[in-house]
Amino acid sequence: MEVKLLSPEEITTIGVGAPRKVYFPESLRELRFLLKENLPVIGGGSNAVLSDSTTPLISTALFRNCTFNGDTVTLGAGVRLSQVLKLQQKMKFSLFEFLAGIPRATVGGLVAQNAGAFGEEVKERLLSITYFDRESGEVLEMEKEEIERGFGYRKTPFPEKGTILNATFKIRYEPGIRKKIAGFVSLRLSKQPPFYLKTAGSTFKNPEGESAGRLLDLVGLKGFSIGRIGFSNKHANFTVNRGKASFSEFKELVEEARKRVETAFNLRLELEIKIF
């Protein structure tokens, strides 16, 4: 099995922290062996920040299967969103167009985070999930009813419950999908920092009925920086790494944001970003 020492920029989109060892299992047997050691699983690292820990990570990059069956598609956890969008355009079907423009995200990460945008969520397209159950050590299936019960706004039982191996989605023939994808990319660009900046997407989850970005803006954090890291000038909930920021700079920024929002609104912001 391949193991590499990778830079934070190679592991995550925001590039905070220090280099880390990453394992690339190719089979279930190799994955099972690594999971026994309790190592965390990372996808594209687009909602992730590396801490100062030295615990190696498991990458799902080599779990790349893709099988069509009528109006469904089964995708391996390591398949990239960009690859799915290419397939959608080639074969003219609807699936993840509302997420178009998110860099590096994988199917495993999109499912584990129940990613969503513009009023749509991954959960709505999901039919079933095949996962490696942490407790029993067996490969199990999660069906639609359980997904309905367990998935909410950026909330799922994963990765705590286990490691997603692949997921099956309902697809729909959509002749105008190319235009729809382009439309979502433009919409995203109008609201978020430009694609070339180093960010991990939303830093905090939106509190119920509120927008974390709006609250951060109200407490003066839009464009605010600590050291080499700060909140975007365009969207206050997007943390941007303006150089080679350290994990302690990231932590300081998060604590400052929480302190200001708590003082002003008596509300504790919950991190959407996962720390590894």
Of residues 107 through 126, those in contact with ligand FAD by CB under 6 A are: 108-110, 112-113, 115-117
Asked about 272 being catalytic, the answer comes back as yes
Can residue 166 be called a binding residue for ligand FAD (CB under 6 A)? no
Under 8 Å CB-to-CB from 93, ≥6 apart: which residues? 73, 87, 171, 172, 173, 174, 177
Rounded to the nearest whole angstrom, what is the least distance from the CB of residue 263 to ligand FAD in the complex? 28
For ligand FAD, the closer of residues 49 and 260 by Cβ is 49
Candidate residues 8, 13, 231, 257; the one interacting with ligand FAD per rule CB under 6 A? 13
Q: Is 106 in the site for ligand FAD (CB under 6 A)?
A: yes
From 16, 34, 35, 48, residue interacting with ligand FAD (rule: CB under 6 A): 48
CB nearer to ligand FAD: give 191 or 259: 191
- In the complex, least distance from residue 276 CB atom to ligand FAD, rounded to whole angstroms: 8
Q: Of 235 and 260, which CB lies nearer to ligand FAD in the complex structure?
A: 235
Binding mask 225-254 for ligand FAD (x = CB under 6 A): ------------------------------
Q: Which residue number places its CB atom closest to ligand FAD?
A: 109
Q: Is 25 in the site for ligand FAD (CB under 6 A)?
A: no
Out of 202, 232, 246, 249, the active site residue is: 202
Residues in touch with ligand FAD (CB under 6 A): 13, 40-48, 60, 77, 102-106, 108-110, 112-113, 115-117, 158-159, 163-164, 192, 199-201, 274
Report, as residue numbers or ranges, the catalytic residues: 154, 202, 272
